[in-house]
Structure 1
Amino acid sequence: MKIKTDKEFRTYQAEMEAITVKGTDLGDMELLSEEEKERYIVLSQAISEWEAAYHPLPGRVSTLITDAIRKKMETENIKQKETARRLGISESRVSDILNGRRPLNLNIVKRLRDNFGIPADFILDNI
């Protein structure tokens, strides 16, 4: 399942909350039906993906941005070492950015724009 709109996100959040309330009322989430438990897991994963992309935690890079970087690396067959060189940062920092452990700074945003063709507006809209 992939959430496509903010309205879907809110709807699925409400559905997940209802399942959580039911599990709480029963005294344990394990007392839910197998169907409800499976639905809860599917909703949880979809909501997590949406939040990582559109509402990342402070200091984390949106998965929309990291996916764009990875796609560019794959399309141009660029390795992490070359990516680091183009961005003027260490390979470990590239790894940290791609895995959401390090935020972007303005210089890196400019280099992503200039050296990878990723529009700055796209990055700024998704930070």
Structure 2
Amino acid sequence: MNIRPIRSEADYQAALKEISVLVEMDPALDSPEGERLDILATLAQSYEAKHFPIDLPDPIEAIKFRMEQGGLTVADMQVYLGKRNRVYEVLNRKRPLSLAMIRRLHEGLHIPAEVLIRG
């Protein structure tokens, strides 16, 4: 199979090129080409995570995104953040998220806790 680690930008670009060819072939998962694709994709993903990290989103922006995504209103958010005025205070960054709010948002809206704690 002769697969090497991806250690440089050149290695990464070569792996992407080969991944593209393999994807076009659409190999069966248990075929040699399918296994090669799986391994190369894993190596490329590891290289990307190390060299192109993605920062966690801002907690308030994550809440607003989830509201937009779910069609949620300020009234809907009262379950997670408290009374209407408190919802507005949080969304306008006038009040920080409490631990109880973080828990409710995480459990109810499935916003990752590490995103909410970041604030």
Q: TM-score w.r.t. structure 2 length?
A: 0.50
Higher-Rg member (1/2):
2
Q: TM-score w.r.t. structure 1 length?
A: 0.47
